[in-house]
A and B are shown apart, each in its own frame.
Chain A
């Protein structure tokens, strides 16, 4: 009797584990394909790293989720009663192996996430500090083009201090050259985001925060605000053009006319 019971239990367990393994293999392959299709192409090394992180996390997450779902799904399918149960189930209050394995696997996954996250942080750019500073997460400085970014309700303005300090509402960047953004706000908290470059940093009144990237794709992109900043927040977006070095120089020439004083950093 006891033997038959434990045999049935083994049988159930074996079935679930096989089902989980099969589902996971298919699920991982499928989800990686879907993610790659959904994620839009990267126009900077940071964005490529962020896209990779999302794909890798998805691939790791799918077997974890499927483990729970296969067990729950199988249980409901096989152990379901018709109407109110007339007898109790087996009085199992625990299982030592499960009690050890479950938290251990969770902990191992946590370690993986932390290590991946720390490694990723060394590559994705700075967290508000100038490029090259901020310790191991500062990145390397290689003669960046500095652009001062000022947020105000509901517009971004850009100043190029090294190119004569002119101010524009269109961000133009030369391709394959590191750019450092010095971001601040004149009124409320905004957040400066160029999705295609994987660049995002808050614009905080009274503070100057830094972030950097290296655009690798020619084309037109969007810089927009991602921190709710009042009435026309949804419309707070500016055009970003990534052009060749020669076109950039020509554009700078055309802009070099009158210099506007800006209140950056006050």
Chain B
């Protein structure tokens, strides 16, 4: 880790590459070995058990092992296990993608910036797949009677939309920006465990084909909540979902361990907890929370899988199991997971607003305290999803209390927004516009949550489209808008070019307007009594559903414009290699493209927090020169 890379390091390496470089594992070798092993395992399992479930389970177990071995992920662990010499610094740098050009994105590359960009593309992919599923849902719901899709396909698509979007949301800030930006923000040269970092990405990557296999094996009818015993009724497509989720959760936990360790141990001199940027705090707390709650979901999926494949009865009443067990295992993750998604968005809000108002973050200790409060309380709220499940009435009141309590720390983020904007020099560039959209949408999302937190109103609204509209207002209107804020904000840092502002504004207005109309109409259908996740509905609900569908298609158009903007700007965008927005955080003080180990020469020493706008002893903003980096 002590190596200092001169910027422009790409020029001096004229030495002949060693022989072993002729063949280097990459994603193609991974795919080949993964598929070969999966086919062999399936063949063997089928020959022994004659059961489609065991065959699927064997294939999905073999696939990630083959894929990761084929990627070369095991090369160093095996070398270490057999007592061979430690890798040299040169080998470490090669593993980090030095001089590998575009290929480093397709290999088991340890550089956190490469992993960050890989995650960004994974998020884009999941959002695209999930978004296409959403369009299909809205096509089917434009009229009653489920005319476009068979109910079976409809249920699978509803479930897949949920899973893809939840997966995307869990990683959409911690993945791309937690990896690319956070290590630079704290003044580190890389993550604490670079190999685990690469592993976390490729595990997440390997979960996507497994999830997609559900379409080839008959689909699943449970929705993303995967409730047992419906999940264990014998759908083969559920096995793919179980394994896909297991792999994905494994990836988030590996990543969480890495980010937590990095933030605790690799902060540069002077980067105290009190000076840590809000984004770092937020990502840290979010993954820490994930680390606490995700194992419960992992267990629920293992149990569902064994109930199906090995005929255990964890969730089957006739075998001594209970549907309530599943519900609690699931929601113990399911509600904190909303905050796993929300907290990074709060952090991004808190870091973007000061830059675009040229004012210090208002009430910084309250924001950090608020995020810690949310993290802690969120572990104690899960049963508010179960008010009508038959839980003891005596338990309803405490869970109502915790759910309402969490609005106090959550509300502090609005205090920070109001306080920082007040009398600022407000520069309404795209990142700030997305923050303002977050304010509006998340207010509605948060307030409608109160109707669901209070048992008397929840009894009527639980399980209706009101709930669907509510969590789309928080997750999509709130958090996804923050993802866009982050993309528009950090895109120049990651790619050296700005996203086009004009296209960005079209994307913004189409998305924000269509989103609000579509989901306000959905609140209306919910209040009128439309149940969630139904393929068909009563005729009198048609007008509201037509409105929701049409404006949902509008959101789809907005997303296409965004995709076009990304691809166009990557090649033709306005070059922006300096401190584009005049931010004081560290990642804007290093050159773009960022050199392989981030800081050329010594690590920076921090003397103040990054919010000292208008203060005399504030950190000076360095207009970072464009370095040639490692191209």
Interchain CA distance A228-B464 in the complex, whole Å: 11
Partner of A92, one of B359, B387, B451, B533: B359
Who on chain A is nearest to B408 by CB? A106
Evaluate contact between B396 and A121: CB separation under 8 angstroms. yes
Who on chain B is nearest to A227 by CB? B463
* CB-contacts of B511-534 with A (<8 A): 524, 527-529, 531-534
Given contacts A68-B443, A89-B358, A91-B614, whether A47 and B460 have CB atoms under 8 Å apart is yes
Residues of B within 8 A of A228 (CB): 155, 221-223, 225, 227, 230, 532-533
Given contacts A68-B414, A117-B455, A191-B388, whether A89 and B537 have CB atoms under 8 Å apart is no
What bracket does the count of chain B residues touching chain A fall in?
A: 35 or more
Interface string of A91-108 (1 = CB under 8 A from B): 111110011001100110
Chain A contact residue count (CB 8 A cutoff) = 91
Evaluate contact between A106 and B407: CB separation under 8 angstroms. yes
Given contacts A50-B456, A50-B459, whether A76 and B436 have CB atoms under 8 Å apart is yes
Interface string of B578-590 (1 = CB under 8 A from A): 0000100000000
Q: How far is the CB of A227 from chain B (nearest CB, A)?
A: 6
Check: A116 CB closer than 8 A to any chain B CB: yes
Evaluate contact between A121 and B423: CB separation under 8 angstroms. no
Check: B147 CB closer than 8 A to any chain A CB: no
Q: How far is the CB of B45 from chain A (nearest CB, A)?
A: 27
* CB-contacts of A78-100 with B (<8 A): 79-81, 83-85, 87-95, 98-99
Q: How far is the CB of B462 from chain A (nearest CB, A)?
A: 6
Evaluate contact between A124 and B459: CB separation under 8 angstroms. yes
Evaluate contact between A231 and B155: CB separation under 8 angstroms. yes
Residues of B within 8 A of A134 (CB): 392-394
Q: How far is the CB of B592 from chain A (nearest CB, A)?
A: 18
Interface of A is mostly: mixed
Check: B187 CB closer than 8 A to any chain A CB: no
Query: Which of A53-61, A172-180, A241-249 contacts its partner?
Result: A53-61
Check: B453 CB closer than 8 A to any chain A CB: yes
Residues of A within 8 A of B418 (CB): 68, 71-72, 75
Evaluate contact between B393 and A138: CB separation under 8 angstroms. yes
* CB-contacts of B413-427 with A (<8 A): 414-415, 417-419, 421-427
Check: B357 CB closer than 8 A to any chain A CB: yes
Given contacts A94-B363, A106-B408, A231-B155, whether A200 and B460 have CB atoms under 8 Å apart is yes
Check: A218 CB closer than 8 A to any chain B CB: no
Query: Which of A155-163, A203-211, A254-262 contacts its partner?
Result: A203-211
Evaluate contact between A93 and B393: CB separation under 8 angstroms. no
Residues of A within 8 A of B440 (CB): 69
Check: A30 CB closer than 8 A to any chain B CB: no
Residues of B within 8 A of A75 (CB): 418, 421-424, 426
Who on chain B is nearest to A85 by CB? B425
Check: B397 CB closer than 8 A to any chain A CB: yes
Residues of A within 8 A of B535 (CB): 233-234
Evaluate contact between A226 and B393: CB separation under 8 angstroms. no
Evaluate contact between B460 and A81: CB separation under 8 angstroms. no
Interchain CA distance A53-B423 in the complex, whole Å: 38
Residues of B within 8 A of A116 (CB): 454, 456
Check: B481 CB closer than 8 A to any chain A CB: no
Check: A170 CB closer than 8 A to any chain B CB: no
Evaluate contact between B323 and A205: CB separation under 8 angstroms. yes
Interchain CA distance A49-B456 in the complex, whole Å: 8
Interchain CA distance A137-B396 in the complex, whole Å: 10
Evaluate contact between B447 and A229: CB separation under 8 angstroms. no
Check: B28 CB closer than 8 A to any chain A CB: no
Residues of A within 8 A of B463 (CB): 191, 193, 200, 226-227
Question: A188, A191, A228, A232 — which one has the most chain B CB atoms within 10 A of its CB?
Answer: A228
Who on chain A is nearest to B433 by CB? A76
Check: A29 CB closer than 8 A to any chain B CB: no
Check: B344 CB closer than 8 A to any chain A CB: no
Check: A21 CB closer than 8 A to any chain B CB: no
Evaluate contact between B425 and A79: CB separation under 8 angstroms. yes
Interface string of B150-170 (1 = CB under 8 A from A): 011001000000000000000
Q: How far is the CB of A229 from chain B (nearest CB, A)?
A: 6
* CB-contacts of B208-242 with A (<8 A): 221-223, 225, 227, 229-230, 233
Evaluate contact between A65 and B364: CB separation under 8 angstroms. no
- Could you tell me which B residues sit within 8 Å of A by CB distance? 146, 151-152, 155, 221-223, 225, 227, 229-230, 233, 316-318, 322-324, 327, 357-364, 366, 387-394, 396-397, 400-401, 404-405, 407-408, 411-412, 414-415, 417-419, 421-428, 436, 439-440, 443-444, 447, 450-451, 453-457, 459-460, 462-464, 524, 527-529, 531-538, 582, 611-615
- Could you tell me which A residues sit within 8 Å of B by CB distance? 9, 12, 38-40, 46-47, 49-50, 53-54, 57, 61, 64-65, 68-69, 71-72, 75-76, 79-81, 83-85, 87-95, 98-99, 102-103, 106-107, 109-110, 113-114, 116-118, 120-121, 123-129, 134-135, 137-138, 187-189, 191, 193, 195, 198-202, 204-207, 209, 222, 224-235
The 3 closest A-B pairs by CB, nearest first: A206-B317, A120-B456, A226-B463
Beyond A92-B360, A234-B535, 18 additional pairs, beta carbon < 8 A: A75-B424, A87-B425, A92-B362, A93-B363, A110-B405, A113-B453, A116-B456, A117-B400, A127-B387, A128-B390, A135-B393, A202-B389, A205-B317, A225-B531, A227-B227, A228-B532, A233-B151, A233-B533
